[in-house]
Amino acid sequence: MKKELFITCLILFNFSLAKSDVLPQIDMNIANNTQSVEQEKNDSFGQQLKKASQGEMNAIMNVAITYLYGSKDIQEDIGKASFWFEKAIKEGNSDAFYYMGVINQRKKDYKAAITWLQRGANKGDPYAQSGLGYMYTVGLGVDKDYKQAKNWYEKAALQQDAYAQFVLGYLYQNGFGVSQNYNKAKEWYEKSADLGALNNLAQIYEKGYGVKKNPAYAIELYRRAAYSGDAIAQYNMGFIYDDGEYLEKIIIRLFIGISEPQNKDISMLSIILPNFINMATE
């Protein structure tokens, strides 16, 4: 029971660290869904601002995103970000609804955030749909409602939103807003490109939830996630072993293929390893 509770807390902790805002963040490279910021990375901000003023949509979104998150040379400015996102919306860009939701979430105006997200979600934008699912999951601006959350996450997941696919797997695994269904959890985890999905998929095979137990495959999935810096996977790898060499195998498995976790700033190893030692020597 303690292990499950700790894992749940770590999952929520990693979610909070993985996102710059409470809402799932869209990668800047897919703004406007047509052209990438990468295509215009050589333009100065001044050049982008000039293009935005001339009505070029990709530039409008680039300028708005730069003001929203700030950059090395440009200070974060929510007011200016709002101006450009609203301009994008007037010109028919549906991605901007999501960002307006982010802005209002930052302001703690959750009702307004819901309004913007709902507008984007109704237009079929997967990021707004996923964001709306999150708001229903935690009860910001709306009553907490896992069924509504599941509905919106599913709409986004069917449009290949990896974050939504991961959360759907988690909902099915734990029976939140749906009947617990390990097979569906497995399916959604497999579709998700999220590192957390690898860890949770490993749990499915380790425990035999809806599938035949396969510790060897579970280890491989844990290893792949752990190699990329997933602290939860690093933690879980050791629990597959329960013989007399428990502590030794924990430490060995923690560092198989892991010379230096990539996500050093958020790695939980410094917290987790003492817990291993305490549990293994009790």
Q: What is the pLDDT of residue 43?
A: 67
Q: What is the pLDDT of residue 101?
A: 94
Q: What is the pLDDT of residue 194?
A: 63
Contacts of residue 114, defined as CB under 8 A and 6 or more positions apart, other chains included, come to 101, 132, 135, 140, 141, 142
Contacts of residue 149, defined as CB under 8 A and 6 or more positions apart, other chains included, come to 133, 134, 136, 137, 171, 176, 177
Q: What is the pLDDT of residue 210?
A: 83
All residue ranges of the chain with pLDDT < 70 are 1-43, 193-196, 216-217, 220, 223-282
Question: Residue 176 class from Cβ within 10 Å (0-12 exposed, 13-18 middle, 19+ buried)?
Answer: middle
* Each residue's pLDDT tens digit, 172-189: 999 999 999 999 999 998
What is the distance between the alpha carbons of residues 281 and 82, in angstroms, rounded to a whole number?
A: 55
